[in-house]
Amino acid sequence: MAKALTNTEFKFEKQNSVYHGKVRDVYDIDNDKLVMVATDRISAFDVVLPKGIPFKGQVLNQIAAKFLDATADIVPNWKLATPDPMVTVGLKCEGFRVEMIIRGYLTGSAWREYKNGCRELCGVKLPDGMRENEKFPTPIITPTTKADAGHDENISKEEIIAQGIVSKEDYELLEKYTYALFERGSKMAAEKGLILVDTKYEFGKRDGKVYLIDEIHTPDSSRYFYAEGYEEKFEKGEAQKQLSKEFVRQWLIENGFMGREGEQVPEMTEEYVNSVSERYIELYEHIVGEPFVKADTENICERIEKNIANYLA
């Protein structure tokens, strides 16, 4: 069985600090560059699950790198290089305290709220009579605050500006970039027979300039439907066939886990872990349109450390 990378504790030259996120470990080099290691950890409902998924980090890192390159003409981004299949090195930016979530379709948490009678999401009015997985007349932006711990909270554009979380001028630029990135991502997805349903973008600032940071258009940050069969399934009110991490959330829900107090994560058998790994590889091949080439997992930590050290040197 392929090995999974669930933990890193590297020490690089000029390293200031390391931040262990839910999935990524981020090393600050000389307060100037960030080395982001996409581990094989997997999280759902803001909980890191007990086992890693082989090749998941490589899948996410390579998809994000591809889309960062493909959108660099829209907005400058933080990426400088990918010295290892699981690593991106980029410019350190001061992150904005909001995540820009954009939705083209009524699904997921937005549908759950809509079904319960909610007709306004993050200050955006929603029309009556919509159905699950229905396309919005135009995509909507539903930002959330960026929480250091626990859940991100929904917030409106007006509240963000009023609370001084982001200036009006910067927020309008983030909005402009978000719509343009979503349009490009949707077009690229359509070429692969996919629908980009919703996604999130994070931005930061460096020397007064706004940059796109973190990952984009990966199955962890985005939801994709298969275009083929979408209309038919929608008309019949059937679940859409989708490419996203939602299948993991569904498995957890079916096994009585939604991250609430007192709930136990169901057992992740080797068979289940392998099936998730295969799904991620399938996601990669659909989204990127190329065969996935598995990196050697025998000595992952040593490989990554060596590749990063060589790049930084």
Q: 37 CB contacts (<8 Å, ≥6 apart)? A: 5, 8, 10, 24, 25, 26, 27, 57, 86, 87, 304
Does 31 score more than 80 pLDDT? yes
The answer to whether residue 62 is domain-embedded is: yes
3 state SS of 124? strand
Residues 90 and 128 in one domain: no
Mean pLDDT of the 154-174 span:
96
The answer to whether residue 4 is domain-embedded is: no
Residues 60 and 110 in one domain: no
Residues 177 and 224 in one domain: yes
Residues 190 and 113 in one domain: yes
In whole angstroms, what is the distance from residue 287 CA to residue 243 CA? Answer: 9
The answer to whether residue 9 is domain-embedded is: no
Residues 90 and 187 in one domain: no
Residues 68 and 102 in one domain: no
Q: 57 CB contacts (<8 Å, ≥6 apart)? A: 5, 23, 37, 38, 39, 40, 86
User: What is residue 246's predicted lDDT score, i.e. its pLDDT?
Assistant: 80
Residues 114 and 220 in one domain: yes
User: What is residue 143's predicted lDDT score, i.e. its pLDDT?
Assistant: 97
User: What is residue 149's predicted lDDT score, i.e. its pLDDT?
Assistant: 58
Residues 230 and 100 in one domain: yes
User: What is residue 1's predicted lDDT score, i.e. its pLDDT?
Assistant: 74
Residues 125 and 224 in one domain: yes
* Confidence grade of residue 241 (pLDDT, cut at 50, 70, 90): confident
User: What is residue 148's predicted lDDT score, i.e. its pLDDT?
Assistant: 63
Q: Which residue has the tokens 């997997």?
A: 42
292-311 pLDDT, tens digit each: 999 999 999 999 999 999 99
In whole angstroms, what is the distance from residue 57 CA to residue 60 CA? Answer: 5
User: What is residue 49's predicted lDDT score, i.e. its pLDDT?
Assistant: 95
Residues 118 and 83 in one domain: no
CB-based contact 172:157 (threshold 8 Å):
no
Residues above pLDDT 70, as percent of the chain = 98
The answer to whether residue 260 is domain-embedded is: no
**Rounded (10°) CA dihedral 16, 11, 77, 149:** -70
179-199 pLDDT, tens digit each: 999 999 999 999 999 999 999
Residues 106 and 238 in one domain: yes
| Domain enclosing residue 227, as ranges | 96-203+215-243
User: What is residue 19's predicted lDDT score, i.e. its pLDDT?
Assistant: 95
Does 247 score more than 90 pLDDT? no
CATH of the domain at 149: 3.30.470.20
The answer to whether residue 33 is domain-embedded is: yes
* Confidence grade of residue 46 (pLDDT, cut at 50, 70, 90): confident
Mean pLDDT score of the chain: 95
Structural domains in the chain (count): 2
Q: Considering the entire predicted model, what is its pTM?
A: 0.91
Does 240 score more than 80 pLDDT? yes
CATH of the domain at 76: 3.30.200.20
Residues 144 and 219 in one domain: yes
Among 107-121, 143-157, 270-284, whose mean pLDDT is lowest?
143-157
Count of H-run helices and E-run strands, the chain: 8, 17
Does 278 score more than 90 pLDDT? yes
Maximum separation of any 2 CA atoms in the chain, in Å:
59
* Confidence grade of residue 150 (pLDDT, cut at 50, 70, 90): low
User: What is residue 146's predicted lDDT score, i.e. its pLDDT?
Assistant: 81
